[in-house]
Amino acid sequence: MPVALIAAISVTATACQSSPGGDSADSNAKGAPSAASSVADYNPTPYDRIKDGGTYTTVGTFDDQGNPFNVNATLTASRVWAWYNADAITYSPTGEVQYNPDYFSDVNVAVKGGNQKVTLTINPKAVFNDGTPIDWTAIRATWKANNGSDKSYAASSTDGYDQITSVGKGRNAKQAVITFKGVSPSWSSLFTTFLHPKAATVENFNKAYVKKAHPEWGAGPYTVGKWDSHSGDFTFVRNPKWWGRKGKLDKRVYVNLESTAAINAFKNGQLDYVSAVDAESLRQIRGLKGTEIRSGGSPFEYSLYFNTKSAVLADKTVRKAIEESIDRTQIAKIRFQGLDYREPLPGSAILYSFQKGYEDNVSDVLKYAPDDARKALDAAGWQAASDGIRVKNGKKLEVGYTLLGDDPLEKATAGAFAAMLKSVGIRLDIKKADEADFSNILSDRKFDLFVSGNRSMDPFGARYLCDFYCSDRDSNLTGAGSPALDKEIRAIAKISDLGKQAVAANEAERKALQEYAFLPLFSGPSTYGVKKGLANVGATIFYNPLPETVGWEK
């Protein structure tokens, strides 16, 4: 599955357990680390040491689009999907591939004549909840829906799928043979989960999961117990049709609460787990009886997106001036204020600073330079008026900024952006929106400037270069790019060596960043308040614990 979009206020990664010390995130600050944290902290516990029974409750609700393969799906969709659909391939915290034998009893990867062949032998017991056997047709259906050959499918990412030339039946229906043109080193990310063939028609792929669940097309240790479209609450219960290890929990409950209410709900014992988004929320939950703080590395990154299709941001000169006016170090200080946490400013959308192959591509193409921004705007004919805001042809230089919810940290960030842009003669028009509008704002491009995050669902960042930067991709929220760069990016996906692929991807990203339409801002650690005894939950980096392994220690 692809990287998954997330609202800045929803599951942020901007807090770490506080202790005396500085709160700068300046990569040039004395003592600042050369890479962000890569520590995992989730109370890893063997299956046989988890008690049978209990309930696990967190904040959450279902997405407008619940099919994680769909371009309009966000991180919410991926997380909810994983509780009642196949988790066939996962990754360790550091990114090593893990095959789930309850789905794939054997995996064979071979290269012959320069082309890769992957043979997936599917567990003979594996069956969808409606009784349909899970076999090679599910793998074929997933490929066909995502390979880009039929533009009617609103697929999130065709990369990798478009390298597959065929998916056929092996020695029997329980074996899928996947043939690639060339070699795909990140092939495992294509089939971490899969679609029921009925879910893979164009109509169902695009519309069936809109605010709905389809447990009959799912499989796994849990299935849907309650799905309340009015309240937004929902519950998963044990699946009587599951053939593998039984889920340890009686119930997995999601309660639909605004992010600002989540801390109080955790303090009152209504939740078992909550994201600590800033120093204040962390202060409120630290030391609560029966709870602990878990904090570690983060596969999240938050960036500023520019809608190049909006009238004022169609001008690259204006976009570059905005980026040169933004002091990312100051934004990071706001995000991490009062926390003993430092990280280098992020330099890439595709790889994190703790990953092999990472390069600081942002610094290669952009410097914080408000004086240069002023000069460029002068030269472009934007003249300062009496109120300090620039005017050209009778039109003020005003840019919209969409602010979700009432989170104080988000308000402070928006205020900082406004002050920075005002200093060069640009007025930031802050427009408030409800958290519930997040996915619609993205899918309908209802913004000029917008801060959103991405969570990497696997370690193969270079694979998602096109999702961020190809001009013809709906997943490219900015709309920036060019056909020439698209061609270069697509060729990179076919490089078989991950190291060489990363080098080429970094070079292409530097070109893409010169569109000045996308600015990585910060990552931060993942920090959570958790009830003691909750197993396999917390800061997991690339790891997504299998649902049946989540529960309470004996």
Taking Cα atoms as reference points, which of 279, 296, 347 lies closest to residue 521? 347
Neighbours of 269 (CB within 10 A): 13
CATH number of 89-205: 3.90.76.10
Specify the pLDDT at position 12.
Answer: 32
Give start-end residues of each CATH 3.90.76.10 domain in the chain: 89-205
| Backbone φ, ψ for residue 118 (5° rounding) | -115, 125
pLDDT at 23: 31
Q: At what angle do helices 370-379 and 316-325 cross, to 10 degrees?
A: 160
Full-model pTM: 0.85
Boundaries of CATH 3.40.190.10 in the chain?
39-85+215-297+525-552
* pLDDT digits 0-9 by tens, 484-539: 999 999 999 889 899 999 999 999 999 999 999 999 999 888 899 999 999 999 99
CB contact set of 341 (below 8 Å; sequence gap of 6+): 15, 16, 23, 25, 524, 525
Contact 403, 414 (CB under 8 A): yes
Residue position matching structure tokens 């300046």? 26
pLDDT at position 463 is: 86
- Beta bridge partners of residue 176, listed in sequence order: 120, 169
Assess contact for 94 and 541: CB atoms under 8 A. Answer: yes
Note the pLDDT tens digit of each residue in 403-425: 888 788 899 999 999 999 999 99
What local confidence, expressed as pLDDT, does residue 24 receive? 35
Q: Are the C-beta atoms of 163 and 181 separated by less than 8 Å?
A: yes
- Which superfamily does CATH assign the domain made up of 39-85+215-297+525-552 to? Periplasmic binding protein-like II (3.40.190.10)
**Cα–Cα distance, 464 to 416 (Å, whole number):** 30
pLDDT at 21: 29
| Segments of the chain with pLDDT less than 70 | 1-32
**Calpha distance 23→11 (Å, rounded):** 21
Contact 347, 520 (CB under 8 A): yes
Report which of 424, 344, 416, 420 is spatially closest to residue 384, judged by C-alpha positions: 424
pLDDT value of residue 2: 46
Q: From CA 351, how far away is CA 348, in angstroms rounded? A: 6
